[in-house]
Structure 1
Amino acid sequence: MEAFSLTRVDVPAAPTACRDNLTERDRLHWRLRDGGDPARLVEEFLTAHGLDVDDLTRPAAHNPGGVCGAAVYVSAAAGAVMAAATPGAPTPAPTLPDLAVVVYAHTPTPTPTAAPAPTAGPWRVGDWTPSWSTRQHADAVTAVRAAIGRGDVYQVNLVGHAAAPYTGDPRPALARLGRLPGARYGGTLHGPGWAIGCASPETLIAVEGGRLVTRPIKGTRPATAAGRAELLASAKERAEHIMIVDLERNDLARVAATGTVTVDELFAVRRWCDLWQAESTVSATPADGLGLADLLRAVCPGGSVTGAPKLAALDVVAAREPVGRGASMGALGWVGAGRVDLGLTIRTAAADGHLLHGWAGGGITWDSDPDAEVAEAAAKARPVRAALTPAPGSRADSLLP
């Protein structure tokens, strides 16, 4: 097995009490060209390392002397494959795997923090270059509205991409991104020649207290008193949100005990950085014998970043987005004994050997205004880019997470 640096584990949703006492045991990387079933690969790999994820209803206890759990990352393209859909345009960051599973075991002594690489140099970020212009983005919104008018789809989430050159070690900047306010799934994951930073507030899927839980987010306004009032009063945002809640109810029903799917909270307004967002909570009792592979197939890719119906929306996405979604709009989090907690990788950035990559978008309905949708995507991207570019003279770029 290839050796990896022993930095503090910063994976979203990793157990807080264990993060300083974990070491990497093994890892799996998979790319679309490898073929096969990525959901099954995750389940089999984790089961081989002693994590009983072939039946998530089976009681399991945390083992403080053995394997703690694993980081699980699923790209948007891998999620589409899990749903038997087209994976879309090629990724702009081919160094990144489409699936990564990193198994961690407990170690009796704290893991040392590695020093910055002496050849990395100071952290610098160049100008961001989008993969489509604002006009092309607006035209794509118009095309989606036409598809809705024809009855092909009810809603589609369109996502844009931008890249910026950088110098230095990207991991500290990506760790800063993970510390943004409201980042329920804040953290990082990295491998040879790539790194991911996540500041997502959204739960794709979790197993909590014997329940399957998802928390779709749909609906955004500036984090002002007026913005909150506008979000709560918007019939368009509420209709869009409820459509996705219904989609998530259907996704969970595929792997839930009959009649157990409930909406525990509807259209709650919560803050992420300088934005208000509407969030709901949907939960269900897992069906007897439910395994991780079937759970991933049911929920990937997330409904709030695809649309309704999901497969038809993915066809529109593949036709309209000029580059792939890469590390965004997928999943990143932790799977351990009796525990699954995966965030949906919105508000996420990635680094390959030369470029930083960021993605942002929003849900399109018949009532969408193209220019407003372009502005909303820019508002979501702004805090991510700011976190990746510290103020001049900051020493934050000299410290590893």
Structure 2
Amino acid sequence: MVHGSRSIGHYPTPPSVLPPGRPASCQGRHRASTSFQWFRSDGGDPAELVADYLADNGLRVRNIGRTDEQVCPTGAGSICGAALYVSADAGSVMSGAAPGAATPVPGIPDVYAVVYVHGPSGDLAPGEFELGEWTPSWTPAEHAAAVSSAREAIGRGDVYQVNVVGHTSAPYAGSPLAALHRVAALPGARYGGVLTGPGWALATASPETLVEVRGGRVITRPIKGTRPATAEGHRELLASAKERAEHVMIVDLSRNDLARLPGVGPVTVDELFAVRRWSGLWQAESVVSAPVTGRLDLTDVLRALVPGGSVTGAPKLAALAEIARLEPVGRGVSMAAVGWIGPAYLDLGLTIRTVAADGERLHAWAGGGIVWDSDPTAEVAEAAAKLAPIKAALLSYPGGKVSA
């Protein structure tokens, strides 16, 4: 049972791997120092365990968001910050939700944190990489049937909205790191980056802020509503009553999540249904925030916000029960959280548009929010549209090829 920190030197971590959410001012001059990992089978409270680890390494996670934000130190060997990743399974534990299906990446921890110090960084050579055929964990018909089943649950009044997510995987040979960096560099990837551990890696091109605590405010930016990034798609998204209703429902859930936090003031919606672009898609985003008025602990933030409402549904616990019933494969590294903890701030993205490599296969997930008037065929097409840029990026560098 492993709960504590350990030296990164126990396994190879390429120095040029850029963790999600890292500060731009430190890019290229930070290196991994120690790490923490927790698997669901370990037991204990993952929120408390990772917070203890980070606090022991000098990060202010027991009282974050104060207005006297420190400037990141720059001296060699000084702590730059920490990357933090939380899986969907860990999010269920933290929120007290029903467990979902077994993860398809059991070798990847459910919580992982890496402390970085300032130091020289090197370059990553592309290397050879061969990708096999993608194999989805359910057929389009099975995906559509799950959407229909979710609609029936909504019709019974069990939930108001539920997010249905599918999984796909493909075998690979060689080193996937350069390909994963291409995923992280997709346009609109606010949290673009790569995180590695012993025998595994994940890359995210996530545009969505799960929670940011900075400058005296706690902020979440839920995304819900998707159309192709064309002029017609822009008009359709703005005019869709169904997409707007679905989006507002998640904004209300986000408001409730923030209101549960101790040490915060009144919650406000600062921006509603703003249309922004991610790669080849338009997506609707809102900004919800509250002032930090007292002591705010990382453990409280994780328990209230992970997993995010835009990938669960409403009410959150009822939606997670439906997800456990409907999805045949666990969400693994997706639909949870990854990002950065600085000297006096927190910035975690939602792990949508995320790929995991487990040593043998690449894994990816995509789905969408289901409401009463959702069309199953359209929902299957939307999930495919979200996966398309990820699949293309994995082969868009020299040395990448598809096996015969």
Q: TM-score range by the shorter chain?
A: over 0.9
Asked whether 1:359 is paired with 2:365, we answer yes
User: Partner residue of 1:63?
Assistant: 73
Q: Which of residues 69, 92, 97 is equivalent to 2:104?
A: 92
User: Unpaired runs of 5+ in structure 1?
Assistant: none
Q: Deviations over 1:337-357 (max 9, x none)?
A: 111111101001010111000
Q: Which of residues 326, 330, 355 is equivalent to 2:332?
A: 326
Matching residue's letter, 1:309: P
Taking the aligned partners of 1:259 and 1:5, their CA distance within structure 2 comes to: 41
Percent of pairs with identical residues:
60
Q: Deviations over 1:130-157 (max 9, x none)?
A: 0011111011011110100110000000
Give the 3-state SS of the residue equivalent to 2:192 in structure 1: strand
Taking the aligned partners of 1:302 and 1:282, their CA distance within structure 2 comes to: 13
The Cα shift of 1:69 comes to 0.5
Asked whether 1:113 is paired with 2:149, we answer no
The Cα shift of 1:243 comes to 0.2
Asked whether 1:192 is paired with 2:198, we answer yes
Asked whether 1:217 is paired with 2:198, we answer no
Taking the aligned partners of 1:274 and 1:21, their CA distance within structure 2 comes to: 32
Instruction: Say whether the 8 Å CA contact 1:256–1:285 is kept in structure 2.
Output: no
The Cα shift of 1:287 comes to 4.5
Taking the aligned partners of 2:292 and 2:310, their CA distance within structure 1 comes to: 21
Matching residue's letter, 1:85: A
User: Unpaired runs of 5+ in structure 2?
Assistant: 1-6
TM-score calculated relative to the size of structure 2: 0.93
Taking the aligned partners of 1:270 and 1:178, their CA distance within structure 2 comes to: 18
Matching residue's letter, 1:200: S
Q: Which moved more, 1:50-59 or 1:317-326?
A: 50-59
Asked whether 1:53 is paired with 2:61, we answer yes
Give the 3-state SS of the residue equivalent to 1:185 in structure 2: coil
Give the 3-state SS of the residue equivalent to 2:204 in structure 1: strand
User: Partner residue of 1:83?
Assistant: 95
Asked whether 1:30 is paired with 2:32, we answer no
Asked whether 1:244 is paired with 2:247, we answer no
Two-structure CA RMSD over aligned residues (Å): 1.5
Q: Which of residues 119, 123, 133 is equivalent to 1:127?
A: 133
Matching residue's letter, 1:168: G
CA change 1:225–1:353 in 2 (3 A) is same
Asked whether 1:228 is paired with 2:240, we answer no
Q: Which moved more, 1:17-26 or 1:315-324?
A: 17-26
Instruction: Say whether the 8 Å CA contact 1:131–1:161 is kept in structure 2.
Output: yes
Alignment of structure 1 residues 361-376 onto 2, 5 Å: 361-376=367-382
Matching residue's letter, 1:56: I
Q: Deviations over 1:371-392 (max 9, x none)?
A: 11001001101111111122xx
Count residues with an aligned counterpart. 389
CA change 1:300–1:239 in 2 (3 A) is same
The Cα shift of 1:14 comes to 0.6
Instruction: Say whether the 8 Å CA contact 1:93–1:352 is kept in structure 2.
Output: yes
Runs of 4+ in 1 over 4 A off after TM superposition: 256-259
